[in-house]
Structure 1
Amino acid sequence: MYFLLNVIGIFVVIGLVYLCSPEKRDVKWKAIFLLLIAELLMTWFMLSTTIGTWVINQIASFFTWLVDCANQGISFVFPSAMGNEQIDFFFSALMPIIFIVTFFDILTYFGILTWLIDKVGWLISKLSGLPKLESFFSIQMMFLGNTEALAVIRHQLSVLREQRLLTFGIMSMSSISGSIIGAYLSMVPATYVFVAIPLNCLNALLIANMLNPIKVSKEEDIVYVPDKAERKDFFSTISNSMLVGIRMVIVITAMVIGYVALTAAVNGILGVFVHGLTIQKIFSIIFSPFAYLLGLTGDDAMYVAQLMGIKLATNEFVAMLDLKDQIRSLAPHTIAVAVTFLTSFANFSTVGMIYGTFNSILDEQKSHIIGRNVWRMLVSGMAVSLLSAMVVGLFIW
């Protein structure tokens, strides 16, 4: 019964996104079908086979090693904080970002990450029949994050027509950054984080193809490759990466503190009018139909609906912190779909980040395409997260 609801949920989400599409006739259904098949096969491989489980464990071990290396640096500067039996979220989850950002930038500097992104992007383009640049970007933002990935292809974005620019804005709602994975792993199970990352990549392409279908000529279907002359020297690169990392830590810290405090304030105001009413309860009602379509029941459905709302209104960190405290009392299927849903940057603040990035790398007129289509971006972010969670839910009960 609940498995069937989970299956129906996939078709409901795709159907709702299709209804939101302003150009329904141009939707490439073949590409959507191929991407869905690829997602199902990939998820089955990663969750239901010995080799797939081994691959996830190796990736998780690699990121655990990265975090351990980061902790060495943190312990040198903050030995008393790291020596505590229970380490604060700031030190355990956020401070490692400084080293992980630097590590990924080193891989990019030597062309290792760039090569990987290029090859996998080419493969996805061949599989789906969608443009190379969009396929390339979906992989790129999976490792680098949305704003960083947009900056890397800024030269090509500057010559694209507005309608195609919107595709990149829509896709940017579904990214994460490789530098942030360590923080996720300190709160939720690694398995579902690493399954969600490639699923979000494919679903971003799928949803963008429905919400903003466009035709690209062969002359337009190219990928910009940065010139070697644009690169700084190695030590300038890693020094800048460390500064970028600490800025990310400060921004995320401010957002978590601010949003948790704001939620508490809103709950206090709501409680004056209706005793016991909270923003979490309101969200749990609004998103409950989608939670039931994830194959959930009763209290679990209402709790995951609440997490959905928290993520959209604040960010995934606030929702993951809540989930971390409840995770031992939840069923395996509930944990799988909840973690998968939360593993992305889809929220209101991300829209502002994307608009700001477009405004800084393009002219103001072109960046208005984002401001005029906020609703499409929010629909995309939620739809991608729901689809990824529904696909994972099919394999964990």
Structure 2
Amino acid sequence: MSEKTGPHASTENIINANGSSDDLAVPVYVPTPKNAKPPSKYRKIINWTIASAVLAAIYAHFIWATWYFIEKTEGTLDSTTCTGYGFWMILFIFINFGVAYKFVLKKYCIPPIERYVWKPCAALFKKVPYATLGFLGLILVAILVFLIVDTSDDWWRLMPLTGLVIYVAFGFLLSPNKRQIPWTTVLSGLIAQFILGLLMIRWDVGRNIFSCVGDKIDTFLNYAVNASAFVYGENLVLEQGIFAFNSLAAIYLMSFAINILYYYGIMQSIILNLGIFLQWLLGTPICESVNSAANIFLGMSESPFLLKPYLDHMTDSEIHSIMTSGFASVSGTVLAAYISFGASPAHLITSCVMSAPAALCYSKLMYPEVEEVLVKRENVKKIKMEYESLLDAAVKGAGEAAMIVLGIIANLISFIATIYFINGVLSWLGTLVGYTEEGELWTLEIILGKVFIPLTYTMGVQWDECEKVGQLIGVKTIVNEFVAFQKMGEMDLSPKSKIIATYSICGFANPGSVGIMLSTLGAFMPNKRENLTRLVFRAFLGGCFVCFMTACIAGLLTP
């Protein structure tokens, strides 16, 4: 084995699943910063002291707030769920659950349940032929009965079922190994996507929770707008609302905060646990599951970094799944820009969450696994980020955000300019055959809107708005989602059509992203560049179809 397998990685950090040093083993990669100093023997004591002090302060404040709420105010928990004491109580419960999970549940409760309950039941279930498919089939029948009863007063709401059937059929027809399709994974993913939609879109409590979360994110991102006004002046930021100074300012704050969460290992824990849950739910390999969970928060170029040491050992099906997940979702750092165009924060978050299981199941439908998966759950360890300190992590986050903002500005200017150029050419060609009136000029939006009318109709959009939503999907697919969200903010759409449009364009599947995906993964796995170029277009289509399926479920569940 060579002395180094990655930047600043030492030999003692490279092990295989059984702890040996065999050269063929899949490496576990834990980067070591340059000039890293051995940890002080007092460091652990200091960290524990700080954590205990913070936890004690949280408990003291919660007790104080509880006393004040009961004795000095006349509010109720319902009225303060998203604004006052009720919201603080919810946060307090989550904090206690996190502490209990880390120190009690994870070590002492979950392993015995998994060993003595879950694994024996799973083994017994596998002995019965087609038991899993039968169980999933019953759930699908229950969902269908629910939809029939729920839409009894408006049968038009069942139209998106047609779209779901069409997109699944497309995935099946495009599959090169139809006999290897894991139908349990496909059905599990579809059921999980529907249940998430039911909880987050249709259920009043779930919808209110995510609406509250969306409002809090919006409030958090607005702090960046105030900071931007301090730097650039209130006239440019607050009064004129110039996009580069107003909307994009929030990206700095998001990247800044995410890097801090990475420094403390919080983000890695969240992503790894979500990935393990998706693996348990869908039966997909751990790397695909972790990547799909990461795509809820990160972009398609950031998520693979978590899997950097394992990428070169992945099968074609796993690579296809990683690319599909990247195309089917968006990065949390750019949600602020979409919100500034009028998109609902709650629906943007819901779309990212629903796309996680959908991308996994659809990628396995389009490109099933036929190779041996080398990277198992026991290989995966949390990766430590190369930050010297909290301040170093925060500063690097802000610096990375600057590159993201510059890239967004460059892409917007170039792509919008290209649209203007294409529209100019189309308008000129139209005038040569008699289309001279202002409302009849040929434009890219009008052509794409007409092409995608059947597509939007199967999602549940009313006929008179199908062309508008089709324009958004077309612009998102051939240009990018920024331009599509910008145009959506300028359109007069009904609330339901706007919701369906939001889900259908909330993804990175566009030509520019294809180049980003190939360059990012190509740098991580140079030995598999041919595999990447062979699979990327298929994954691009998969990402588009996942967004359309999510839009169909939103159409089914939105009255």
What TM-score range do you get, normalising by the shorter chain?
A: over 0.9
Deviation at 1:191, TM superposition (A): 2.6
Q: Report deviation, 1:159.
A: 2.3
Q: Where does 1:35-46 land on structure 2 (aligned, <5 Å)? A: 35-46=189-200
Match of 2:558 in 1: 396
Whether 1:307 aligns to 2:461 is: no
- The 8 Å contact of residues 70 and 100 in structure 1, kept in 2 or not, is answered as no
Superposed, 1:1-397 pairs within 5 Å as 1-81=155-235, 84-187=238-341, 188-215=343-370, 220-222=375-377, 224-228=380-384, 230-274=386-430, 275=435, 276-326=441-491, 329-363=492-526, 365-397=527-559
Structure 1 pair 254/83, CA: closer, same or farther in 2 (3 Å)?
closer
Kept after mapping to 2: 8 A contact 1:121/1:136: yes
Separation in structure 1 between the aligned mates of residue 448 and residue 292 of structure 2, nearest angstrom: 29
Report what 2:113 is aligned to: none
The change in CA–CA distance for 1:162 and 1:19 in structure 2 (over 3 A counts) is closer
Q: Which structure's residues are more often helix, by fraction?
A: 1
How much does 1:212 deviate? 1.4
Alpha-carbon separation, structure 2, partners of 1:45 and 1:166: 29
Query: Displacement, 1:73?
Result: 2.2
Paired residues of 2:288 and 2:318 also in contact (CA < 8 A): no
Distance 1:272 1:373 in 2: 38
Quick one: which amino acid aligns to residue 214 of structure 1? E
CA contact (8 A) 1:351 1:377 kept: no
Question: 8 Å contact 1:155–1:224 — kept in the other structure?
Answer: no
Amino acid paired to 1:191: A
Alpha-carbon separation, structure 2, partners of 1:369 and 1:344: 23
Distance 1:362 1:34 in 2: 30
- Deviation, 1:12, is 0.7
Assess if the C-alpha contact under 8 Å between 2:228 and 2:246 holds in 1.
no
Do 1:340 and 1:392's aligned partners in 2 also have CA atoms closer than 8 Å? yes
> How far apart, in 2, do the equivalents of 1:216 and 1:119 lie?
26
Q: Letter of the 1:387 partner, please give it.
A: M
| 1:121–1:137 CA contact under 8 A, matched in 2 | yes
Amino acid at match of 2:494: A
Name structure 2 gaps, 5 residues minimum.
1-154, 436-440
Give the drift of 1:165. 2.4
Aligned residue type for 1:94: L
Preserved CA contact (<8 Å) 1:2 1:296? no
SS in 2 for 1:299: helix
How many Å apart are 1:216 and its aligned residue?
6.6
Residue 220 of structure 1: CA displacement? 2.8
Kept after mapping to 1: 8 A contact 2:262/2:385: no
Q: Which amino acid aligns with 1:352?
A: G
User: Residue 449 of structure 2 aligns to which amino acid in structure 1?
Assistant: S
Amino acid at match of 2:396: N
Amino acid at match of 1:273: L
* Higher mean C-alpha displacement, 39-48 vs 260-269: 39-48
CA distance in 2, matches of 1:77, 1:218: 51
SS at match of 1:336: helix
Q: Could you tell me whether the CA contact under 8 Å between 1:315 and 1:347 is conserved in 2?
A: yes
User: How big is the shift at 1:50?
Assistant: 2.8
- Mapped to 2, the partners of 1:149 and 1:229 lie a distance apart of 13
CA distance in 1, matches of 2:428, 2:236: 41
Deviation of residue 64 (structure 1)? 1.7
Indicate the SS of the match to 1:38: helix
CA drift at 1:141: 1.8
* Residues paired across the two proteins, number: 394
After TM superposition, give the deviation of residue 143 of structure 1 in Å. Answer: 0.7
SS in structure 2 opposite 1:144? coil
**Matched residue SS, 1:158:** helix
Return the TM-score normalized by structure 2.
Answer: 0.67
Q: 1:49 to 1:270 in 2, by over 3 A?
A: same
Tell me: CA distance 1:379–1:67, structure 2 relative to 1, closer, same or farther (3 Å): same
Q: What is the TM-score with the length of structure 1 in the denominator?
A: 0.94
